[in-house]
Amino acid sequence: MKLQAKFALYNAITKIAVILVLGAIILLSLETISSHHLDGRLTKKRLKVIENLSDNEIDSLLRNQHSFTDYNILKDEFIVLNAIPNVGKIDTSITFITERREIEGDTEIYRILNDQFEYNNKRYKLELGEAMTAMEAVKTTIRFYMLIVLIGTLLVTLLTDYAFTNFILRPFYKIIDQKLNKVNDPTSYNYENIPTNTTDFKILDNSINSLMRKIADLFLLEKQFIANVSHELLTPISILSGRLENILAAENLPVEHENKILASLKTLNRLKVIINSLLLISKVENEQYLKKDQVSIHQELLDIYEDLEDRIIDKQIIYKNEIAANFSFTGNRALIHTLLINIINNAIKYNVNKGAITIHDELTLTKYTLTIADSGMGMEKEIVANAFNRFERENSDNEDGFGLGLAIVNSIAKFHQINISIQSEKEKGTIVTIEFPIN
């Protein structure tokens, strides 16, 4: 969830809570106040009734009946007087209750005063009621308006909060987007500050900038280092190989020396390949290559087949290219070529005689998947896990290669956001899956 949405949500929830609590307090106090008020009125009426009480009145009220009931036209007040038997102790306390009563078919809520008193050695029970309907109506209205206010506030708050946080946080999202998300390498980084007057964002912006400067410095330093290493290592190799070639050209060289010099040239060549491989990896990781070529995978595979045809024929390998899609990838042609040729060369090198290599593809909306399957000797699980590390290689009698092929493949793949996975089973073969992203 975005920070902005979280802020808006939090504000909405707190406001709802405040309104609910406020509403509850208002309703409760309203009820207390109105009950109190009614109770006061009922007490006064009782006094009036009891003060004016006389034999005649009681008689006229009860008319020798046990009970007397009266109410006004609108039925919002009533009085009930009952004679009760003289049993036990009389309870003279006044109690109030809120109850639903039916008077001539109309049911309403009343606040009722209960009292018992003695008059001329006779006990009576008095009930005075006053309707609370008006009160209930007020409460319902308040509840209704509260709901409306609640919903209204909720909507308004959500909108205004969202808009406000959006305004406040805009520089923050701009920083995230321009300074973090869109940055792939420090060389194409824009150091211009994002305009904002929020101190925290200024600090964030400046921190990212200074971090980026450090990374850019390191990046440049690495570039220089690579250039220096190339020069300092490759020049001596160049001298040595020239010297050995000149010695080899001498006509009167004894055969045993000739062989030693040849072996030295081979070793030197090996040194050169290793240095160049490591430099290639470093240069790819240092992003020294452009990714602007339209590389047709189909065409690259045809070229690679031509390059490796001799090896395929030599091992009598059945090579099946089942590519169906005509997919082009934007990247560095030379690097993609290197990536593919290394994988296919491995499929040949670690294959068995009369084995097979099958290349298959699949194009979806988001990616282009190339699978290169061989029927070779396969690898153990631990070896697969380490296959992309430098100088890792399958222990075999085959001393060609220096275990850098897959490390090169790995760095090229990362550089192009290509996903590579290896599935392998000992003695059965290896399947390399290459996923080219489509953007």
Angle, alpha carbons 381-384-388 (nearest 5°): 155
State the Cα–Cα distance between residues 383 and 387, nearest whole angstrom. 6
With CB under 8 A as the contact rule, the residue among 56, 92, 199, 246 that binds other proteins is 246
Closest CA to 409 of 271, 273, 277, 230: 277
Contacts of 76 (CB under 8 A, 6+ apart): 108, 130, 131, 133
The residue range among 97-105, 136-144, 366-374, 400-408 that interacts with other proteins, by the rule CB under 8 A, is 400-408
Q: What are phi and psi of 121, to 5 degrees?
A: 60, 20
Determine if 69 is a binding residue for other proteins (CB under 8 A).
no
The residue range among 6-14, 51-59, 243-251, 359-367 that interacts with other proteins, by the rule CB under 8 A, is 243-251
Determine if 296 is a binding residue for other proteins (CB under 8 A).
no
Residues 203-228 as b or e (16 or more Cβ within 10 Å = b): ebbeebbeebeeeeeebeeebeebee
Task: For other proteins, give the closer residue by CB, 165 or 286.
Answer: 286
Site for other proteins in 249-288 (CB under 8 A): 249, 255, 258-259, 262, 265-266, 268-270, 272-273, 276-277, 279-280, 283, 288
Task: For other proteins, give the closer residue by CB, 198 or 288.
Answer: 288
Determine if 291 is a binding residue for other proteins (CB under 8 A).
no
Task: For other proteins, give the closer residue by CB, 340 or 359.
Answer: 340
CB of 190: closest distance to other proteins in angstroms? Answer: 23
Task: For other proteins, give the closer residue by CB, 280 or 370.
Answer: 280
Task: For other proteins, give the closer residue by CB, 3 or 334.
Answer: 334
Determine if 235 is a binding residue for other proteins (CB under 8 A).
yes
Pairing outcome for strands 95-103 and 106-119: antiparallel
The secondary structure element, H or E, covering residue 319 is strand 318-322
CB of 283: closest distance to other proteins in angstroms? Answer: 6
Angle, alpha carbons 286-291-297 (nearest 5°): 125
* 43 three-class SS: helix
Determine if 341 is a binding residue for other proteins (CB under 8 A).
yes
The CA-based dihedral angle spanning residues 28, 31, 32, 38, taken in that order and rounded to the nearest 10 degrees: 180
CB of 387: closest distance to other proteins in angstroms? Answer: 14
CB of 252: closest distance to other proteins in angstroms? Answer: 13
Closest CA to 434 of 314, 312, 277, 301: 301
The residue range among 45-53, 111-119, 167-175, 238-246 that interacts with other proteins, by the rule CB under 8 A, is 238-246
* 4 three-class SS: helix
In the complex, the residues that contact other proteins under the rule CB under 8 A are 226-227, 230-231, 234-235, 237-239, 241-243, 245-246, 248-249, 255, 258-259, 262, 265-266, 268-270, 272-273, 276-277, 279-280, 283, 288-290, 306-308, 310-311, 314, 338, 341-342, 345, 400-402, 404-405, 408
